[in-house]
Amino acid sequence: MTAQPTSAENNGPRQNKVVSAAEAVAVVENGSMIATGGFVGTGFAEHLAVALEKRFLETGEPRNIGLVYAAGQGDGKSRGLNHFIHPGMVGKVVGGHWGLVPGLQKQAMENKISAYNLPQGIISTMFRDIAAKKPRTISAVGLGTYVDPRNGGGKINGVTTEELVELMVIDGEEYLAYKTFPIDIALIRGTTADPTGNITMEKEALTLEVLAIAMAVRNSGGKVLVQVERIADYGTLPARDVKIPGIFVDYVVVADSENHWQTFGEQYNPSYSCEIKIPVESIPPMEMGARKIIARRAAFELRAGDIVNLGIGMPEGVSNVVIEENVLDRIVLTAEPGVIGGIPVGGLSFGAAINTDALIDQPYQFDYYDGGGLDITFLGMAQADRFGNVNVSKFGPKLAGAGGFINISQNAKTVVFVGTFTAGGLELLVEDGTMKVINEGKSTKFVDDQVEHVTFSGKYSIKRGQTAIYITERCVFRLTEEGMVLTEIAPGIDLQKDVLDQMGFAPVLKEPPKIMNPAIFNPEKMGRELS
């Protein structure tokens, strides 16, 4: 029998929903399917997760819970979904990204739990479909990738047998139908609550899909648990500021400050919540090296007026180059959790941004992305093959997960993959406008056979007429119907020794590759102007 909180007063419309964390998580039953909000650490209900973990360690319950989440939530160590790694606690995971939760990742790869990796944008929008009790989320996103049921249907291991993805044909076109399911518990957060459960988010860096999750759980007959920073009096929250109406909320918990950081990187940064804007001149330029060279070459693909998405890691450098070249006002940078304009930040604060023009809910951002709204995206590239396929999601025993990569790469008009040519110990010397390889990386990124996990399908990209470019520090490729065409090479790089001999396949060479713009390799500003 589910335990019921004792401190809340049931007095009709003015019911007091404020309870302790222990009282709130007591309603989670064995086998409950739990939806968690958050993006890395932004917006994650850390205080509630700590309380649920404490209950499990003390009582052995709840056991065999399910988790469903869109973006990766964790710090790779102890926070976020890492609170749920104890054997027996979790039985099933439907997640968009796994790289920040190594403990759950290990359980999935060892066949100890049922596990799926679905596109982040699909899960994000699926919450709305669950709320509306739609039986499927129908989308072209995932066709040709490992999510396609012809390629595994997003299942991670052999003990995962239920099919969550089906192939459909509508009006002669292929689509994927993602099966929806009820959700029992929501663990989400906001900034301020009144006692009836109305929630505002004025100090949050992102609004994510908290409203969609709350509605999905409420319409599934479940319980919505929300952690906040503070409580306001009845009727004092401006209606326009209420992000989650109290009718969708069951329990409110005031979090300890140490468990309510704005991101997992910073306790509070007022620029992330649009409280202030900061001078971009305060952002230091990158040091010369592979990352800056790649970002500089990538910036040459930008055009004035472009709506741009930047992925995590190497792509983040593009924003630094844009700032350094003083052309930020010529484009609009975006990030998938709902950032429009401004400058996305990185590290454990990735997803947040400074000087934003607007913040929207993550499901709406993916509606825009999936519908082809992006002019160009810059994404990481862990592994590529002769067909133009890219893998960023799974490597042997390591399960990173796709995150929003599939949604974004599949639907942007131009996709630019960025990364070093080899990995593991790569050392370069950049001087006098040229580049030399001092020590080659141990791992080949451009492999002969098809990549282990197809996170981006080159075949599907060509079918759609998409422009796909692959930029490294020493050369550039473009995907065509004939294959991967080598188009450019860095000054000082030996074509045979430094490029062809380091690849698992022979690229298409229609003509000698052009020399990359020498300005990329000099310490001075490039003088890049967008037109």
Catalytic site positions: 336
Half-sphere exposure at residue 453, Cβ-oriented, CA atoms within 13 angstroms: 25
The pair of three-digit structure tokens given for residue 319, joined into one six-digit string: 């924003």
Distances (CA, A) of 236 to 19, 192, 193, 299: 20, 11, 10, 47
Residue 335: enclosing H or E segment and its boundaries?
Answer: strand 332-335
Task: Look at residue 2 and give its three-state secondary structure.
Answer: coil
Residues 6 or more apart whose Cβ sits within 8 Å of residue 310:
316, 318, 319, 333, 334, 335, 344, 377, 378
Rounded-to-integer distance, Cα 214 and Cα 220, Å = 10
Cβ atoms of residues 377 and 390 within 8 Å: no
- 283, with CB counted inside 10 A (0-12, 13-18, 19+), is middle
φ/ψ region of 457 (left if φ > 0, alpha if ψ in -120 to 50, else beta) reads beta
Rounded-to-integer distance, Cα 262 and Cα 350, Å = 12
The pair of three-digit structure tokens given for residue 478, joined into one six-digit string: 């473009």
Cβ atoms of residues 283 and 323 within 8 Å: yes
Residues 6 or more apart whose Cβ sits within 8 Å of residue 358:
340, 341
Rounded-to-integer distance, Cα 220 and Cα 186, Å = 11
Give the 3-state secondary structure percentages of the chain, helix then strand then coil, rounded to 5.
25, 25, 45
Buried b (16+ CB within 10 A) or exposed e, 327-364: bbebbebbbbbbbbbbbbbbebbbbbbbbbeebbbbbb
Among candidates 155, 147, 186, 168, which has minimal Cα distance to 48? 186
Residue type, 12: G
Rounded-to-integer distance, Cα 147 and Cα 68, Å = 16
Cβ atoms of residues 369 and 340 within 8 Å: no
Which letter does DSSP use for residue 326 in this model?
T
Strand partners, 242: 200
Residue 24: enclosing H or E segment and its boundaries?
Answer: helix 21-25
The pair of three-digit structure tokens given for residue 463, joined into one six-digit string: 């079918």
What distance lies between CA 13 and its chain's CA centroid?
38
